[in-house]
Amino acid sequence: MGDVDDKIEVLPRRFRWSHWIRPVLDVLYPPSCAACGIRTGEHHALCPACWRQMRFIERPFCEVLGIPFSYDPGEGMVCAEAIAEPPVFDRLRAVALHEGPARSLVHALKYRDRTELAGMMAGWMQRAGGQHLQQADVIVPVPLHWSRLASRRFNQAAELARALSRLSGKPLLSDVLVRRKRTLRQVGLTARAREDNLRAAFRVAKGRENMVFGRHIVLVDDVYTTGATVSSATKALKRAGAAQVTVLSFAMALRQPI
């Protein structure tokens, strides 16, 4: 009974401390919209205007590439692009189209060091990953080259993957995939140039092949554009024996719904 009584006493004290400190923090750091910065009622949330502008990717969508359809073609349908050029990964899932508030969130995380946004973004990614995340064995982020990581100080994909691991309970393998060459920045490159730029850019770290072999892997990145980056990373994982690779991205910088 003594142990139970102690627990009952501790909880109210913690609650009173949290109840007192939160208003103080809100005065010093007022809650604001994570995308546009306007004042809001709580931290790590979107204002009503930004919420309305978020183009979340919901069904119906292509079962392979996750591209939203403008009409419902029926359960399990695959888009023409996935049929004509099947990807090396098994499937792609993304939270939203890379525009408006979604683009702002990605840029804030990536270029303005807003790493505190990773938890909110990962929460949406967990929902987008659905059963494929639930059935996965491990989570692997798309790595940066060491020189770029040194200049940027953090890897946005790793921040998302770390938050996603905490939410889902899936193990995070943050160092199993290595970027072995410093590639050109992908922005402004054509699809073919992106593919050439990233050819053989990744490998599984020596001695870590057993952590990949036979596993269903969720490969995490912040934005899916042409697929060149995640395709190159997937090839390295599958060469090491990965059974399945599900790409999970926050945003899809692709086409309009088809």
**How far apart are the C-alpha atoms of 138 and 243, rounded to whole Å?**
12
Q: In 48-166, which ranges are E strands?
A: 91-97, 138-141
Tokens read off for 163: 């938050």
Look up the pTM and report it. Answer: 0.84
Quick: pLDDT tens for 140-176. Answer: 999 998 777 777 789 999 999 999 999 999 999 999 9
Q: What's the rounded Cα separation, in Å, for the pair 43 and 251?
A: 21
pLDDT score of 2: 42
Of 88, 122, 98, the residue nearest 239 (C-alpha): 88
| Domains of the chain, CATH where assigned | 56-252 (3.40.50.2020)
CA 40 to chain centroid, in Å, comes to 24
Q: What is the CA radius of gyration of the chain?
A: 20
- Distance of alpha carbon 24 from alpha carbon 29, whole angstroms: 9
For residue 105, give the amino acid letter. Answer: L
Residue pair 109/116 in contact (Cβ under 8 Å)? The answer is no
The partner residues of 178 in beta bridges, in order of sequence, read 203
pLDDT recorded at residue 65 = 97
Instruction: Name the stretches of the chain with pLDDT < 50.
Output: 1-17, 184
Whole-number Cα distances in Å, 54 to 58, 98, 100, 133, 179: 12, 9, 7, 23, 32
Q: Which two tokens stand for residue 63?
A: 């079962």
| Structure tokens that stand for 152 in this block | 């940027």
